[in-house]
Amino acid sequence: MASDDQISLFDLSGTATPTPVASTPNYNPDLIPTDAKVPIVPGTYNSMEEMSQHCNRCQRCKLGQSRTHAVISRGNPQAPIMIVGEGPGQNEDETGLPFVGKAGQLLDKILESVRLTTERDVFICNVVKCRPPGNRTPEADEIAACRGYLIEQVRLVDPQIILLTGATAVRGVTGDKQGITKIRGQWTEWQGKLCMPIFHPAYLLRNPSKEKGSPKWLMWQDIQAVRARLDELLSGE
């Protein structure tokens, strides 16, 4: 099945329009550490906009040399759900927005299938903010160099639920090296936050079956569990 057709499998309505991160006038990025030897301490940034300006000058790892744009986030910076992906691909590097290619379109459909929107419910980001050349998996030193930014995003957004898409995101965030097939759909805790590993949407594009037990079917179970848990949290249960 063509990937365009697969995106339509989760289609309920039109896709949300991504909102670019705005820039903050008068902010001086020279005052914050772009060298990996200088740690990014919690509380460095007052906003995602500040962090975005810094990331676009960052040379904490080699990915800074080849990026077009650092890819910080899209969605509601006060959302109850944060989704963490692996790293930007070509479309994301070009636009500066995460998950805007085929995998991102499928992710939006999956969210819409349980009435979750990036305008209200979801904030999307990645473990690394710059595109690994040729879309290779980010390396351990790159994930480590970028970790302070992710921790700052978690602090600023303060989500109630974090979804980790694919094994690299799980490893990069929690350090868990287990296979995604084994741990997907299981609630876990990380830094006091409720987390769930889920399949990466790009994996779903490569696995078109919707049969019971297939990756897409499992994703449907997982996203319904996320919706139910969010409803519980919002109703104060």
The contact pattern for ligand URA, residues 32-71, with x = CB under 6 A and - = no contact, is ---------------------------------------x
Residue 172 found at the interface with ligand URA (CB under 6 A): no
The runs of H, that is alpha helices, within 17-72 are 48-55
Residue 89 found at the interface with ligand URA (CB under 6 A): yes
Least distance (Å) from ligand URA to the CB of residue 22? 19
Q: Which of 88, 132, 159, 197 binds ligand URA (CB under 6 A)?
A: 88
Residue 126 found at the interface with ligand URA (CB under 6 A): yes
Cα pseudo-dihedral 151, 152, 156, 161, rounded to 10 = -10
Instruction: Name the segment binding ligand URA (CB under 6 A); options: 92-100, 141-149, 154-162, 189-197.
Output: 92-100
Report the residue number, 98 or 185, with the smaller CB distance to ligand URA.
Answer: 98
Q: Which of 10, 45, 99, 123 binds ligand URA (CB under 6 A)?
A: 99
Edge-to-edge order in the sheet of strand 161-165: 74-75, 122-126, 81-85, 161-165, 193-198, 188-190
Q: Which residue is nearest to ligand URA (CB)?
A: 85
Q: Which of 50, 86, 112, 222 binds ligand URA (CB under 6 A)?
A: 86
- Residue type (1 letter), 198: I
What are the beta bridge partners of residue 196?
Answer: 163
Q: Which residues of 74-100 are buried (b: 16+ CB within 10 A; e: fewer)?
A: bbbbebbbbbbbbbbbebbbebbbbbb
- Take residue 114 and report the two structure tokens written for it: 């349980």
In angstroms, rounded to a whole number, what is the distance separating the alpha carbons of residues 135 and 157?
Answer: 27
Where along the sequence are the contacts to ligand URA (CB under 6 A)? 71, 85-89, 92, 98-99, 103-104, 126
